[in-house]
Amino acid sequence: MQYWTFNGEANHYWPIGKGFVLYVDGKVGYGNTYGGKTYENSTQDGVIQAGQSVAFPFWMNFYAGGVTDLRGFQDNTLGPRVCAGTLADGKPIPAQANGYCGNGSPYSYAQPIGGAFKVLGTTELYLPLPFLKDINTARVSVFMDVGQAYTNIQNFSAKQLDASAGVSLHWQAPIGPLIISLGFPFRTQPGDSEYEERIQFTFGSQF
């Protein structure tokens, strides 16, 4: 199997006066196969047919969601999802329109599998709070995150982008950088409610 991946990121801080600082960040991830490889044999369950183009390897898939990219959602839970198990014809059980599972799947709601294309954007405003005036190891910000993972770049749709907003505390603790975020998803897709997470924290991220 031959494949390639691309990861790109651009960000910038802008002092906008009176102690306010605006931060903007954008990320893109994309992968695909090359070399015209095709499957030589069909699988017994009929999922793969001989001559079918080799798909981008699932273990290299991109995921969205989490404290480091799209806050308000659990880590790596946004994007394409499937239900485990198979139907009578041997094909995987698809998720229903509402994002949940049926037809005898062992899961009640679809599970994330990631995709070959991912896009994320963040806008964050750091606040000049009076009680932090003489403290250079802590700062508070309000943020808005938007993004999604897709099966491939052809499946990109702005209507499927998820978004959240909230407040974040950044603290240079003695044990290392600590970020605590309170996020509120305000634009979601069917089934996302099972993966929402209001309070999140992380250690060791860049301060």
pLDDT in tens, 142-168: 999 999 999 999 999 999 999 999 999
Question: Residue 168: inside a domain, yes or no?
Answer: yes
Residue 38 has pLDDT above 90, yes or no: no
Residue 176 has a pLDDT of 80
Q: How many domains does the chain have?
A: 1
168 and 71 in contact (C-beta within 8 Å)? yes
Residue 86 has a pLDDT of 65
Question: Residue 61: inside a domain, yes or no?
Answer: yes
Closest CA to 70 of 140, 5, 119: 119
Report the distance separating Cα 163 and Cα 121, nearest Å: 9
Average pLDDT, the chain: 87
Residue 89 has a pLDDT of 61
Question: Residue 99: inside a domain, yes or no?
Answer: no
Q: Mind listing the pLDDT tens digit for each residue in 127-144?
A: 987 766 666 778 899 999
128 and 20 in contact (C-beta within 8 Å)? yes
Q: What confidence category does residue 119 fall into, taking pLDDT thresholds of 50, 70 and 90?
A: very high
Q: Which residues pair with 147 in a beta bridge?
A: 120, 162
Neighbours of 77 (CB within 10 A): 22
Counting Cβ atoms within 10 Å, is residue 98 exposed (0-12), middle (13-18) or buried (19+)? exposed
Give the residue carrying structure tokens 């041997």.
90
Q: What confidence category does residue 184 fall into, taking pLDDT thresholds of 50, 70 and 90?
A: very high
Question: Residue 157: inside a domain, yes or no?
Answer: yes
Q: Which residues pair with 30 in a beta bridge?
A: 6, 117
Q: What confidence category does residue 114 fall into, taking pLDDT thresholds of 50, 70 and 90?
A: very high
Residue 91 has pLDDT above 70, yes or no: no
Question: Residue 85: inside a domain, yes or no?
Answer: no
Query: Domain containing 67: what range?
Result: 3-79+114-203
Question: Residue 19: inside a domain, yes or no?
Answer: yes
CA angle 146, 79, 43 (to 5 degrees): 160
Residue 174 has a pLDDT of 81
Residue 102 has a pLDDT of 76
Neighbours of 166 (CB within 10 A): 20
Question: Residue 41: inside a domain, yes or no?
Answer: yes
What strands, in cross-sheet order, belong to the sheet with 92-93? 92-93, 81-86, 111-112
Question: Residue 96: inside a domain, yes or no?
Answer: no
Average pLDDT for 94-101: 84
CATH number at residue 173: 2.40.160.50
Name the DSSP class of 118. E
Q: According to the per-residue pLDDT averaged within each range, which of 5-14, 89-98, 101-110, 197-206 is highest? A: 5-14
